[in-house]
């Protein structure tokens, strides 16, 4: 950040400018994401003919040395593989 202060007749004015800087350090790139804290919970419906709700909680951590984003989706099915359903994709910057 850079600041410039001016005083003209008792009125002070300060202008500031900020600049984002991206640096690249020498060395190998290690693009790595890790999923931690994975927990699932199922709540059945009161009606035995309608599906219940599956809740999936997780945390994605950038454990590498590169700025990354991620896209995730969850897929679930009955024990016998019947009625597969998927959640909408989730993008994380």
* Interval 27-54: pLDDT, tens: 898 999 999 999 999 898 899 888 788 8
What pTM, to 2 d.p., does this model score? 0.58
Q: Domain limits of the chain?
A: 25-92
* Interval 50-85: pLDDT, tens: 878 888 898 989 998 888 888 888 888 877 777 788
- Distance of alpha carbon 52 from alpha carbon 67, whole angstroms: 37
What pLDDT is recorded for position 39?
94
**Residue-by-residue DSSP string for 30-69:** ---EEEEEEEEEEE--SSTTS--EEEEEEEEEE-SSS---
């Amino acid at each position: 950040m850079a600041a410039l202060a001016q005083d003209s007749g008792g009125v002070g004015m300060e202008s500031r400018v900020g600049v984002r800087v991206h640096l690249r350090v020498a060395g190998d790139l290690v693009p790595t994401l890790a999923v931690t804290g994975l927990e699932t919970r199922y709540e059945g419906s009161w009606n035995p003919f309608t599906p219940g709700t599956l809740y999936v909680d997780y945390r994605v951590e950038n454990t590498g040395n590169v700025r990354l984003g991620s896209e995730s989706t969850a897929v679930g099915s009955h024990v016998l593989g019947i009625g597969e359903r998927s959640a909408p994709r989730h993008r994380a910057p």
